[in-house]
Structure 1
Amino acid sequence: MNQQASNNVKKYIVPHLQNIYFFVAVMSLVLIIWQDYGMNKVLNIYPETTPSVFANSDVINNGNSNASLVENEQGAQLHCETKASDAWPFCSLDLVLTEDRSAGINLEKFKYLSLELGYQTTSQDTVLVYLVNADQKIKTKHGSYIIANKSNMTTILPPSGTSHYKLPLAHFFVPSWWILQNKATGEAARPKIDNVIGLSIATGDSHQLRTVDITLKNLQFSGKWISAKSLYFLIILMWLALISVHGLINIYQQSESLKLKHLETKNLEDINSFLSIQKNEFELLAKTDALTGLYNRAGTSELLQQMKANPNSVYSLIMFDIDYFKKINDNFGHEVGDEILTTLATHLQNNMRNSDHVARWGGEEFVIFCPDTTEYNALRIANTLRKNISELPFPMAINVTCSFGVAPFFAGQENSIQDMFKAADNAMYEAKLAGRNRVRIGKH
């Protein structure tokens, strides 16, 4: 995860995770309720789409039954008189849904066939409902292929009068006569309703000769835009995705927290090692120099930690000491030397910027940490300070000068603190070799 993506996660996702869980929970509940009480998909066939309707009978098999059709405001009325013959006696009401055998209706996404039928008979019988699927390529037991319309059937036992039927499409099956006629096995013998071109409502299995009147008043297919199984699967996937993202965010945050703690520990160890201060000693040492009132080495620890931890730090270090300070002590005594140190410290406190961090580094050596300051701006500050020091009225009218070394802080490097001090110290040494009372820039 890059830095920008990490910041976006922390800013937009983490603070709102609780709201996201609540939103997903509400959405899941709404979808489940909507699936139960709404999300309905309806395909009206009769009388809305006015398909072609025909009456048929066993005459197609050389039978003798009579079938006639009348269409009026009551619906499509089939009148059937079954008669004895060598053929199985039947009549049917046939609906042609499309003349294009490649453009039938895919009913796989529907759940029910709803019928409103009027029924009268002189002898109780069943009614057979067929869905005709077009042009099925059937593999026979001999390994050859034939093309045949597949019949899918279900049976109802209607009472006299008008009744409503809601027939589950999952209950349709391929009748045995079709399987035998087409020598179908395996997958070919299973129901298929992905290209339905026709529908038949036929008299049933009774052997008795009878008169039957069947009136089709309404026919439609219904279902859900998304099945319950598919919806629950999507909801589970949505929750799994949310939980997985939350888990990854937690893992990432813990990883970042461990990295940060490790970095803080390492920075503290590096600084303590550099300052040669043991942990128990660091807690006891005062942060200011007793003589000058400036920070001492311990007083710079927190600043150094901040510099080390911030990858965008821009600091420059000014390091300087008093030229020939040992001779001053030898010629005028340590009390005069101390007065020179305190005078110099007072000048630094009164004239350096508020943001600068001034410290007595030891003996006659001083350091100034300059935040948000390039090495060239630090060079200008050091030159101004050098000139001002040379003009200060020191005790005994002693002419005091200082030699300066300047070095930048390169954040992110392995030994950035040590390198900065080493560069400044080398630059200060070069200033002394060049004649003192000078400023030099150190190189890492």
Structure 2
Amino acid sequence: MAHHHPLPAAQTADLAAALQGGELPDDPSRLIDLIGELERLKSLACAVQAEAAVAYDAARRSAESAQGVPLRRQGRGVAAEIAIARRESPHRGQTLLGLAKILHAEMPHTRERLADGTLSEFRAILLVRETACLTAEHRTFVDEELCADPAALEGVGTRELVARAKRAAYEIDPASVVRRARNAESDRNVTVRPAPDTMTYLTGLLPVARGVAVHAALGRDADALRAQGDPRGRGQLMADLLVARVTGAELVDDAPTPVPVLVNLTMSDSTLLGGHAPGQVGADGVAPEILPAEIARLLLTRTLNAEVGAWIRQLYVDHTGRLLGMTSKQRFFADGLADFLGQRDLGICRTPFCDAPIRHRDHVTAVDHGGATTADNGQGMCEACNHAKEAPGWRQTTVDGLRHSVETITPSGHRYRSTAPPPVGWREPRWVKESPGVYTLVA
């Protein structure tokens, strides 16, 4: 995208201020016009962001090359910088930077359709994904076929757009599409992520034949059990059968699994004794989930009644809600400190806008630079963010405050602050002004 004059950030800030301070029109027809124009503006902003990302990546690589940084390490951390600036996760930042580079180098017509509002950023990402198996030359050809004429996309839904991209890719290079399908099998995996109400989504990415076979087998056996009088629903039985066959647990409700796992159930003492403050449950690799006090007590009761290994550890909090320490019986100091950081950061990576589960315990100030292995100099991070901050130009320091705070300074000089969340069930102290100069502390 060519600009004939510099585009300062202040100019876009003025536009944002004008939009925020403006009044909506009274005419319903003009309201629809406004909605449509704002959608086009969003797409244009995404196109400009993409060009800015490409330019920043090139500038960073050029500067690092001049500094003697090895080629394979140049540009490390750029995607994370873009993610923070866009208030997105580092994984999303990788996707957005990859999109920007491909639009700039290989798919100029898709970039133009994004700029004129014919395509949204989401739909542009889908086109890039569906042509990923093609060479740059073939990808450019498909880009021209699908997006050179903006009128050709008028009224085209997302599903039809993806189908067009798949057909075009197969027609121009069927062998590459076949190779992509074969290579996709190497990406098979099983993931787990939190779901509402203390549930989890266990997802298996499998070749289509195997995935359908697993689902069919679970459905067939669930139907057989229902025919024998089992009162559980078909979906419930399929889920219970899956757990039983993978872990060896008995096929009964709430049966304990013979596979040892550590699940952290955190609640305040008042909640444990009948209060209403919420609790929190989480496990290694699974982001914590807030749950009602009654459910937290019920889970604790079930655990104790099931006679599984369980112990209670105390967390110590000061009057500001800052987590100070925890008991460490049956723990080495290193493990106890790692557990403390996980509890203090509620199991979530401390990088701003990243919501990935903690994988690494990291020194805010590196040991090589004199950083100590202490709670104040420690933080929980995901693997991607921990690697990103090792790129040249990244700095982090702890900041004095009521709760543990870390300031991240990126190579561009921008500063972002991350503050540890308050412990589960904590209510921020509030001061109410009673009279001139007189304040009362309330919960």
> Greater RCO between the two (CA within 8 Å, min separation 6)?
1
Of Structure 1 and Structure 2, which has the larger fraction of its residues in strand? 1
- Which structure has the larger Rg? 1
